[in-house]
A and B are shown apart, each in its own frame.
Chain A
Amino acid sequence: MSIILDHVNYIYGGDTPLAVKALDDICLTIPDGQFLGIIGHTGSGKSTLVQHLNGLLKASSGHIYFDGQDIYEKGYDLKALRSKVGLVFQYPEHQLFEIDVFTDVCFGPKNLGLSQSEVQYRAYEALKSVGLPEDLYYQSPFELSGGQKRRVAIAGTLAMKPQVLILDEPTAGLDPRGRDEILDLIKKLQTESGMTILLVSHSMEDVAEYVDRILVINKGSILLDGVPREVFRHYQELEQIGLAAPQVTYIMHALREKGLEVDDSVTTIDEAVDQIAGLFRR
C-alpha cells in the first residue's frame, strides 16, 4: 500500500489574470514505511504538495491514490483519510489551545468519535511516545518550553494513529539538542511503528542524516529524486535554486581537489570521519 500521485497539477486563482501554477505535473510514488525528505526554497511548492496528501487542497487536475483508492472519487471518505494522514504544520505549538497538555492531545481522537477510554488511552500513548515527562501532562501547554510544546503538538497528531506523518519544518527555531531530539523521535516512529514519514525541511544537514530518499521541488515540479548521496552530488544545481549540500559534502570536495582520495559524495559526518581516518591510517 502506498501513496501515488498521477499527473497532479494545482493552479492558484484559476480563472483570474493572477493564476499561478503551484504544482506542475507531479508524478510520485511513496511506498509504505519510507522516510522521505522534501526540500525546496521558500515558495517552491513543497507545502502546497504536502497539503494535497490529506485532501486539504484539491488538485486542479490529476489523481491521488491512497492505499489504491482514488481520493477524488465520489463518496471517498476524506475525513477518514485525514485521520490516516497526519499533518503537522510549521510552528504547530501555535495551535495548542486547551487548558492542559492531556486535554489538548485528546482533542484529535475525540473528534474521531471514539469512546472516552479509547481517547484517553491514545492520548496517553502518544504523549509517552514523544517522551514528555508525566508530571507535565496536567500543566498548561503555554508553560512548557519551545521544544516541549512542539512535542505536545506532534503528540496531538499521533493520537489520531496516522499511517503517514507529514511534518512541515518541525525543527524551525529549536536549539540544536531540541532539533536532534525531535528528529530522533520521528526516526523512531518510522523504524518502530513502520510509519511513513514526509519531512519538509530547510536543513540540508538534517535531511542528509535522517531520510531514505530526497525529493527536490522547484517551481512546482520535481527537479531531483533519489537517495541523499545522489541528490547532493548535484550540489551546483541545488545552489542555483537556493539550496545547498551539507557542509561536510563541500569539505570532501575541497579535500579531493587537494588530491586526497576521498569519496566526495559523502553527506554525513560519520561517513566523512571513516573516510578520512581510513586514509590517514594507511
Chain B
Amino acid sequence: MSIVKTKDLVFEYIRRDEEGNVEGITTAVDHVNLTVREGSFIAILGHNGSGKSTLAKHINAILDPTEGTVWVDGMDTADPEKLWDIRQRAGMVFQNPDNQIIGQVVEEDVGFGPENMGVPTEEIWQRVEESLRAVGMYEYRKYSPNKLSGGQKQRVSIAGVLAMHPKVIVLDEPTAMLDPSGRKEVIRAVRALNQVEGVTVILITHYMEEIVHADQVFVMDQGRIAMEGTPREVFSRVEELKSLRLDVPQVTLLAYELKKRGLELPDGILTTEELVKALCG
C-alpha cells in the first residue's frame, strides 16, 4: 500500500522584480510521479537546487502543488480540511536542530506536538517516553536542549515528530551540520524508527554513505526524477551520478577505480564487507 503518492506534481515559483512585476517562472518540481510504499526507507538525492526540498515540502502540505496531486495516507494535500490530519501523519525534520527545538527541557519539547493535537496529559507523557526511548535519548529527558550536542539535539527533534505518531517522517538533510559521531547517531536512530517502529522514512541527504541501506533511491535533477532504483543499481552508475553533481560512497568509488585498473569486481559494491569479500574471497 502506498503511504505517499504524487501524480504529475508540478510546482512553480514566480520570480518578481523590486516593483513586483513578474520577471519569470521557475519550475522547481516538474511532473514528478512518486509512489512510496508504507514501511519503506526511501532516499532522495540531488544537487543544490534540483528540487528535492521543494518536493519534500509537499509531503506535509507546507507547499501546495501548482499542478497535479499529492496524496498522503490517501488524503489529498490540497484539501484544507485535511491539513492537520496530514501534518500529523507526515512529520518533517530539518537541517538545523537549533531552529526546531523550542522547549526549555527535552521532555517538554517532545511533548509540544501531541499537546497541540489535544492528546490527554497521561498519554502525552507515555508518548514522550516512548519517543525518547526510540531515539536513545530517554536518559536526557530532564536536560536543557542547550546542553546537548548537535546529534543529540537532532534526535530530540526526531522524537518530537515521533510523539505525534506519524506514519511517515521526511528528513531534509538532518545531518548536514553534524560531526561524524552525530551523523552516525542520527542515521542509526532513523534506521531504528524504520525497522523497529515501522515508520516510513524519506531521507534527503548529500552524504552518500547514509543511504546504502535504503530500499529505494530517487535522484532528482531540474525538478524531475532522473534516476531511480535500489542503492546498488543507482551507485553502479558512477559517471552518471557525477554528471548530476553527485558522488558515490568511498568504498563504491574505490571498487569502481579498481575495476578500471582491471580487477574483476562486481558493480555497485556498497559496504566494506562486500569489498573485502570480493577481494579476499
A132 within 8 A of B: no
Bound Cα distance A179, B208 (Å): 13
A243 within 8 A of B: yes
Bound Cα distance A178, B178 (Å): 18
B75 within 8 A of A: no
Complex interface residues of chain A between 137 and 181 (CB less than 8 A to chain B): 143, 145-147, 172-179
Contacts of A259 in B (CB 8 A): 280
Tell which of B1-9, B111-119, B257-265 binds the partner.
Answer: B257-265
Contacts of B247 in A (CB 8 A): 176-177
Instruction: Specify the chain A residue showing the minimal Cβ separation from B176.
Output: A173
A247 within 8 A of B: yes
Contacts of A173 in B (CB 8 A): 48, 95, 173, 176-177, 206
Contacts of B209 in A (CB 8 A): 247
Residue of B180, B245, B254, B272 near A175 (CB, 8 A) is B245
Contacts of A143 in B (CB 8 A): 15
How many A-B residue pairs lie within 8 Å, measured between CB atoms? 114
Bound Cα distance A205, B279 (Å): 23
B179 within 8 A of A: yes
Bound Cα distance A260, B275 (Å): 13
Flag if A176 contacts B258 (CB, 8 Å): no
Complex interface residues of chain A between 24 and 79 (CB less than 8 A to chain B): 40-43
A242 within 8 A of B: yes
Bound Cα distance A202, B79 (Å): 42
Contacts of B275 in A (CB 8 A): 251, 255
Also in contact, A174 and B272, with CB within 8 A (given A205-B250, A269-B257, A280-B263): no
Flag if B180 contacts A204 (CB, 8 Å): yes
Instruction: Specify the chain B residue showing the minimal Cβ separation from A241.
Output: B181
- Chain A residues with a Cβ closer than 8 Å to the other chain, count: 39
Also in contact, A242 and B179, with CB within 8 A (given A42-B149, A177-B246, A277-B258): yes
Flag if B48 contacts A242 (CB, 8 Å): no
Complex interface residues of chain B between 191 and 221 (CB less than 8 A to chain A): 206, 208-209
Flag if A272 contacts B47 (CB, 8 Å): no
Contacts of B68 in A (CB 8 A): none
Bound Cα distance A244, B177 (Å): 16
- Nearest chain A CB to B192 CB, angstrom units: 20
- Nearest chain B CB to A53 CB, angstrom units: 21
Bound Cα distance A247, B254 (Å): 10
Contacts of A43 in B (CB 8 A): 149
Flag if A255 contacts B276 (CB, 8 Å): yes
Bound Cα distance A42, B254 (Å): 29
Residue of A40, A174, A246, A250 near B48 (CB, 8 A) is A174
Flag if B47 contacts A243 (CB, 8 Å): no
Lowest 7 CB-CB distances: which A-B pairs, in order?
A: A177-B245, A176-B247, A242-B181, A175-B47, A247-B250, A146-B48, A277-B261
Give chain A's interface residues, CB within 8 Å of chain B.
Answer: 40-43, 143, 145-147, 172-179, 202, 204-205, 239, 242-244, 246-248, 250-251, 254-255, 258-260, 269, 272-273, 276-277, 280
Known: A147-B48, A173-B206, A179-B206. 18 other contacts (CB 8 A): A40-B179, A43-B149, A173-B48, A173-B95, A177-B242, A202-B178, A202-B180, A239-B181, A242-B179, A242-B182, A243-B179, A243-B181, A247-B209, A251-B254, A259-B280, A269-B253, A273-B254, A277-B261
